[in-house]
A = this chain, B = another copy of it.
Amino acid sequence: MHSASGTAHLYHHRVSYGETDAMKVLYYAEYLHIFERARSAYIRERGLSYSAVEERGLYLPVREATCRYRTPARYDDLLEIRTVISELGRASLVFAYEVYNEAGTLITTGLTEHACVGPEGKPVRLPAWFAEICRGGKKQ
């Protein structure tokens, strides 16, 4: 993965029954939930929770999401999600995700592109303090 944010952040997720479907695999929409968990953990480990980001007046709604499904995940699988910020724009950013199973097989990749907006939903420039967090700068 190309990264604008240093090394990938690792997040682990156990597949539950409720996430599987009648094909006995992780349902395709569930990866977007897992990506959300992974990027929240990414931000949290850099010293700020996403709710704290919102309290500072910055919102990051998803503008586009893409997911490429290579190999199915199954109930009880322990997944590893590797997350980087692959692009830091003037008023947007892109998270890239790779999902591996315990055997180390790459099962799914994805991207989420986020707009930077203020409390009233208007576009704002990516604040310097947030860019610094993304680059893994000093913890707040």
Q: A67-B64, A75-B51 are in contact. Are A21 and B22 (CB under 8 A)?
A: yes
Residues of B within 8 A of A25 (CB): 22
Residues of B within 8 A of A16 (CB): 33, 36-37, 40
Residues of B within 8 A of A130 (CB): none
Instruction: Tell whether, in the assembled complex, residue A50 and residue B76 are in contact, meaning their CB atoms are under 8 Å apart.
Output: yes
Q: How far is the CB of A119 from chain B (nearest CB, A)?
A: 11
In whole angstroms, how far apart are the Cα atoms of A37 and B20 in the complex?
13
Q: How far is the CB of A60 from chain B (nearest CB, A)?
A: 10
Q: How far is the CB of A71 from chain B (nearest CB, A)?
A: 10
Instruction: Tell whether, in the assembled complex, residue B61 and residue A49 are in contact, meaning their CB atoms are under 8 Å apart.
Output: no
Determine chain A's interface SS by DSSP, over half rule.
mixed
Interface string of A28-52 (1 = CB under 8 A from B): 1110110011001000000001110
Interface string of A56-100 (1 = CB under 8 A from B): 000101111111110010111000000000000000000000000
Residues of B within 8 A of A75 (CB): 22, 51
Residues of A within 8 A of B (CB): 14, 16-18, 20-25, 27-30, 32-33, 36-37, 40, 49-51, 59, 61-69, 72, 74-76
